[in-house]
Amino acid sequence: MEVNAEARRILAVSISKLYASRTQRGGLRLHRSLLLSLVMRSARDIYHSSRESEGPTPEEPMETSSGAEDEQQQAGLPEPQPALVSSEKLPEEPDSAEEECETTEDKENLSPTRQSRKRRGKASAAPDFLPSKRARLEPGEERYAAPLSSCRAGAGDSLTALSLNRGDWIPLRAEELTYIGQSQDKGITGAMVRAVRST
């Protein structure tokens, strides 16, 4: 599925760009973040619609948003996306990646304390005057920006080949979450960020 592979590759590249833009001088650029989120949304929709057409596969729920947020996202869609399958089903992490990690460790069920650090975009549209906090690092962790090349794995293995390690989770700031798109995206986005970080 070329389109599928292309969509995943673009998703990975986009996440990496979004992550890299955090360390850019001058701060997060709203325009750029918005454009990245639009591309990611297109790629995500194509990816999911092509997966839908492949046939249903068992999916595990990610940290997800509610149905209400789902509708909000539908209402907020600015343009019709190509081949958009009805999005009442919540978009999940790529199944292949989940299946892989199932066999090793239960990496997906993160501890509540970890999960609670992730900011839900809906609740935390931060007022401008509040400072944006960066993630507090665990001992031994280091902060770095994933190089673009790390996402340039060959088509098809950009996600499946990456192992998902606990401690690679990077909570995104409120502004980044909103620009990634409506809250429905955060499920897949969080997974993408983990995938990037682990390389």
CB of 87 to another protein, least distance (A): 16
Work out the burial of residue 34: count CB atoms within 10 Å of its CB; fewer than 13 is exposed, 13-18 middle, 19 or more buried. Answer: middle
Q: CB of 164: closest distance to another protein in angstroms? A: 24
User: 150, 194, 151, 189: which is closest to 170 by C-alpha?
Assistant: 194
Q: Which is nearer to another protein, 124 or 163 (CB)?
A: 124
Closest distance to another protein from the beta carbon of 133 (Å) = 9
Kindly list the residues in this chain that would bind another protein in the complex (CB under 8 A): 6-7, 10, 13, 17, 25-27, 29-32, 34-35, 38-39, 42-43, 46, 72, 76, 78-79, 82, 121-122, 125, 128-129, 131-132, 134, 148, 152, 174-175, 178-179, 182-183
Nearer to another protein, 128 or 138 (CB): 128
CB 9 within 8 A of CB 158: yes
Distance from C-alpha of 177 to C-alpha of 28, rounded to nearest angstrom: 12
**From CA 23, how far away is CA 34, in angstroms rounded?**
17
Min dist CB 182 to another protein, Å, is 6
Residues 168, 142 contacting (CB under 8 angstroms) = no
